[in-house]
Amino acid sequence: MEIAKKEESQYVRSLIEASLDPLVTISGAGKITDINDASVRVTGIGREELIGTDFSNYFTEPQKAREVYQEVFAKRSVADSPLTLRHKDGKLTDVLFNGSVYTDDRENVVGVVIVARDVTDQKRIGTELLEAKEAAERATTIAEEAQLKAESATFIAENATLIAENATLIAENAVKAKQQFLSNMSHEIRTPMNAIIGFTKVVLKTELSVKQREYISAIKTSGDALIVLINDILDLAKVDAGKMTFEKTPFKIQSSISAMLHLFETKIQEKNLVLTKIYDDNIPEVLLGDPVRLHQIILNLVSNAVKFTSTGEITLSVSLLSEDAERVEIEFAIEDTGIGIANSKLPNIFDDFQQATSDTSRLYGGTGLGLAIVKQLVESQEGSIRVNSLQGKGSTFSFILGFLKTDQEAPMDLELLELDPEIKNIKVLVVEDIALNQLLMKTLLDDFGFERDIAGNGKIAIEKLRTKTYDIILMDLQMPEMNGFEATAYIRNEMHSNIPIIALTADVTTVDLEKCTKVGMNDYIAKPVDERVLYSKIVNLVKKLEPKKVPTGKKIIIKEIEKTTYTDLAYLMKRTKSNPMLMHEMISLYLEQTPPLIKVMKQSLLDNDWDLLYSAAHKMIPSFVIMGIDSHYETLAKKIQEYAKSRQETDGIYNLVLQLEKMSDDVCLELTETMNKLNNKNS
């Protein structure tokens, strides 16, 4: 009996500690009897010191806390009472106080259990929104007063009122709009730019007069310059917003830099400059880091050097500074013999929109954002950057970055293939919703001699795949009805197809490439599309997966299907210390509580009861951790919570609930089998 009680106590303790919010049990006298680790963190006081003390001591308003506590006893529960917790170092945490009584075996009330949900961020956002509203309302008042004082300025006053009213609406949507801005801006601007640059390349391959070629080349040059400008602005905004992420992928740093420097060959030749690379052979061949961001840094610095150097040479030096068993530190230096920078301008050279002089901007162009982005990219990776310069003699920009060592192999560099007229039998499905981009892809694929079909969104693509066979899919990511991520997940999980899928993305610097890989995409191509890269990736992927011929002349595809498991039995055994009775009890509780919660979620969707939907999802989340269920489903439940809280994207919520329901059915079946095995073993 005592063992069973101990096991029950351990089980209760695991449930208490699963809560990320502070959880406290309090006696009838108002003394703390038990807490979880979250309570220790929010107060900064150890468990032993907290237990036995008056719980109200840790709130900024002890009397109010006691009143809420007394209300729990009177009403048997209380929900969402606002209070403020105080950390021992003075830090304050706004919480919503939720409590209910708990009883002994005879239903006598013996104490209260309290959960304090942290709402500090929500309160701050609400305050900011309220201040924005008040500011807008004051602007409206000022505009109205101006209208009364000066009838001759009626038109201006009316417009001021309209602006103020619009400001109120803008303020209310500011938080959400800010989050959407970066992804929307990139997609909306780059999509037409993809068509502009793509078609200029197509036209340049046709027969043109000298003047026509000159004009089309000017359009392409301007388009390329605009893409660089868009990149600069979006990257700077993204770094400021804390949205910049850095990969840790294996790559060959020497070959990576060499390939990038080829981009400058034409410009270097045009200006009759010399480009020199000095590379330290002691640097390990393969390192872990973010090659895209490294390219971006070096590209900006070398581009500046080429822009501001009329005669002489540009030198890129890569040197090993230090090395230990796990990591290396490397210094990169770009030295030029250009116009240099005045000493007075050096302290501000890395600031936003800064160039050495106004003449610099007029003569050489540019936004002055490049160096600001470089500094942000370097320092966000815990690196450092500096500049030495002598006006009229040249400049040296050097930065230091750390990289992890690895035994992993770097992916092979893409071989850019020349167009092979013999390769004609490739069937391509293009999934793209923008008409101009559809036309561009048709044109490029026709030039390659490939067969192609167009689908305006993911749903249409899936219908085409049911009736026709293709060798490869080019999949845009942002589309109506069904986007590229959803379509790819359906093709992989529901249709069980391994057809190669290449993502077409308008924003390679911000797209979640990990998400592309996770849903089953094989590769990606950045817009504006480089036709040689497009051709090479299509041919390489199709050839890689091309089946070997068999004597009958028919394709034989053998597909091995692995059984998916949802629960980690080893984790469950470890959590229960291999106690079959406790494991049986945990599984029984899960099987008892989960199906009703799924049913509640589906019904709350039908009733548009967002609070109930949020609550049901919230109750499911701790069980994922306790039962050792794949974390992917915890993420699903949290997304449902987010949607329920915002009360938007109902189609998105419905699909997520269906996924969660399917997973729940599979998990319950799996756990039932496990429980049956336990029963057979014990019988």
In tens, the pLDDT along 274-313 reads: 889 999 999 999 999 988 788 888 888 998 899 889 899 9
Alpha helical stretches, state H, 479-607: 484-493, 513-519, 531-544, 569-575, 580-606
Q: What are the Cα distances from residue 424, in Å, to 43, 134, 419, 427, 447? A: 69, 66, 11, 9, 10
Model pLDDT, residue 327: 94
Is the entire prediction scored with pTM above 0.75? Answer: no
* Per-residue pLDDT tens over the stretch 100-154: 888 877 878 878 888 888 777 777 776 777 776 776 677 667 656 656 665 555 5
Task: Indicate whether 356 pLDDT > 50.
Answer: no
- Sort 181 into a burial class: Cβ within 10 Å, 0-12 / 13-18 / 19+: middle
Least confident of 98-112, 391-405, 557-571, 646-660: 557-571
DSSP track, 555-566: -------PPP--
Q: Are strands 501-505 and 523-526 parallel, antiparallel or unpaired?
A: parallel
Query: How large a percentage of the chain has pLDDT more than 90?
Result: 17
pLDDT at res. 451: 92
Joined together, the tokens standing for residue 305 give 């050097």
At residue 32, the 3 state secondary structure works out as strand
Closest by CA position to 669, among listed 581, 585, 565: 565
Residue 655 sits at the vertex; the CA angle it makes with 495 and 480, to the nearest 5 degrees, is 80
pLDDT given for residue 283 in this prediction? 94
- Percentage of residues in the chain with pLDDT exceeding 70? 73
Buried b (16+ CB within 10 A) or exposed e, 353-389: ebbbeeebeeeeebbbbbbbbbbbbbeebebebebeb
Helix, strand and coil percent figures for the chain, each rounded to 5: 55, 20, 25
Query: DSSP 3-state assignment of 495?
Result: coil
CA distance 444 to 298: 31
- Residue 358: predicted pLDDT: 42
Residues 6 or more apart in contact with residue 209 via CB below 8 angstroms:
none
pLDDT at 610 over 50: yes
pLDDT digits (tens, 9 = 90+) for 434-473: 887 888 888 889 888 999 999 999 999 999 999 999 999 9
Number of H helices, E strands in the chain: 23, 17
Q: Are 392 and 312 in contact (CB under 8 A)?
A: no
Average the pLDDT over each of 20-29, 63-72, 249-258, 617-626 and give the range with the smallest value. Answer: 617-626
Using only C-alpha atoms, what is the Rg of the chain? 32
Q: Do the Cβ atoms of 38 and 18 come closer than 8 Å?
A: no
- Contact status, residue 43 vs residue 58, Cβ threshold 8 Å: yes
DSSP 246-281: ---EEEEHHHHHHHHHGGGHHHHHHTT-EEEEEE-T
Average predicted confidence (pLDDT) for the chain: 77
Q: Which residue has the tokens 């989960």?
A: 594
List Cα–Cα distances, 547 to 220, 466, 493, 499, 610, in angstroms. Answer: 40, 21, 22, 12, 50
Phi-psi region at 681: left, alpha or beta (left = phi > 0; alpha = psi -120 to 50): alpha
On the CB side of 340, how many CA atoms lie within 13 Å of its CA? 11
3-class secondary structure, 439: helix
CB under 8 Å, gap of 24 or more: what pairs does 321-326 form?
321/400, 323/282, 323/284, 325/405, 326/404, 326/405
β pairing state of 472-476 and 427-431: parallel
Structure tokens at 46: 């150890």
Q: How far, in Å, CA of 110 to CA of 27, rounded?
A: 6
Cα(439)–Cα(202) distance, integer angstroms: 11
First to last CA, the chain: 21
Q: Which carries the bigger pLDDT value, residue 584 or residue 321?
A: 321
Tokens representing residue 115 in the block: 């959960």
What's at 636, amino acid-wise? L
**pLDDT on residue 98:** 84
Q: Is 14 left (phi over 0), alpha (psi -120 to 50) or beta?
A: alpha
Cβ pair 23, 33 in contact under 8 A: no
- Assigned token pair, 264: 């400058």
